[in-house]
Amino acid sequence: MRKKVTVVGVGNVGANCALRIAGKELADVVLVDIVEGVPQGKGLDILESGPVEGYDVNVIGANDYEATANSDIVVITAGFPRKPGMSRDDLLLANYEIVKTATEQAVKYSPNSILVLVTNPLDAMCWTAFQISKFSKNRVIGMAGVLDTARFRTFIAQELGVSVSNVTALVLGGHGDTMVPISRLTNVSGIPLSELLDQATIDRLVDRARNGGAEIVKYLKTGSAYYAPSAAAVEMVESILKDQKKVLPCAAYLEGEYGIKDLFVGVPIKLGSRGIEKIYEIKLQPDEQAALAKSAAAVKELIEVIKTKM
């Protein structure tokens, strides 16, 4: 029997997630959105691409969650996008209500699923889904570091004129302006970044990665990034469905690791069929630890706001 993935929210990120999942023949896909006709139309459009593209999975759209029953993974992308001048934090309370409802429905119809969160502000939305779902911590995961790392790798490869496949990077912390790219552990085919670029250039690339989402929002003016975010989410989905056990930076619930407790923060994890199978705790330099603590504190502020609404 084929696997089944539900994608909640069929805006640009959700629709591209569905398209990529279908294109890789990872699973049958159910698209869910509150806007009547839109998930049905987009689902049918993706389905009709199959004969041309050569994939053979079922894709349907729905306005309720009945069709999502027994999904293996539920990817939650629904929410309001960022607009120019808007921080991820501005989205907090509006998107809290959306994620709360989506999580309640996902749990009702797919109690054994794994939740992959994409909605911003990401770390706070993960915490919301974790509290509402009552799932074990390995089954609620946030897509953040995969995207942030992809951006960092892209900028490094561009700067050096090398293949992105040769660039290995690590980004920790909350998804947003306080993310912590660890340039010390970043390399090109094993060559430390510090031997290839001067510190001023590395700092410039770190800053660009940190503001990668805002840079795209500035260009688009009426929306936010969706090609790279959907690709990042689908890499996580694939690692779970195929039990690849990829080591990826994702938002995970910490219980003392890195000195952080009761928060979702981006850290390296092993991602397999059971969701998060291991959290890797690497030794950080004092300045890196301080930056990570600052990032976690920013996430904690958002959680405190959410707690007043629960």
Tell me the CATH number at 281.
3.90.110.10
Beta-sheet pairing, 187-188 with 167-168: antiparallel
Report the alpha-carbon distance of residue 155 to residue 310 in Å, rounded: 40
CA dist 304 to 70, 87, 92, 174, 262, Å? 33, 17, 11, 15, 12
Active site residue 75: no
Q: What is the pLDDT of residue 178?
A: 85
Structural domain of 35: 4-142
Out of 110, 142, 174, pick the residue that ends a domain: 142
Q: What is the pTM of this model?
A: 0.96
pLDDT, mean of residues 212-233: 93
Report the alpha-carbon distance of residue 91 to residue 79 in Å, rounded: 8
275-279, strands of its sheet edge to edge: 59-62, 28-32, 4-8, 73-76, 114-117, 140-142, 246-255, 261-272, 275-279
Q: Are residues 264 and 181 in the same domain?
A: yes
Out of 108, 142, 176, pick the residue that ends a domain: 142
pLDDT tens across 63-108, in order?
Answer: 999 999 999 999 999 998 766 676 656 779 889 999 999 999 999 9
Catalytic residue from among 4, 153, 175, 300: 175
For residue 75 the two structure tokens come to: 């990817």
Q: Are residues 184 and 229 in the same domain?
A: yes
Nearest Cα residue to 74 out of 154, 148, 1, 133: 133
Q: How many domains does the chain have?
A: 2
Out of 94, 110, 142, pick the residue that ends a domain: 142
pLDDT, mean of residues 146-150: 96
Q: What is the pLDDT of residue 176?
A: 74
Tell me if 247 sits within 8 A of 280, measured CB to CB: yes
Q: What is the pLDDT of residue 1?
A: 82
Report the alpha-carbon distance of residue 47 to residue 167 in Å, rounded: 35
Q: What are phi and psi of 70, to 5 degrees?
A: 65, 35
Residues, the chain, total?
310
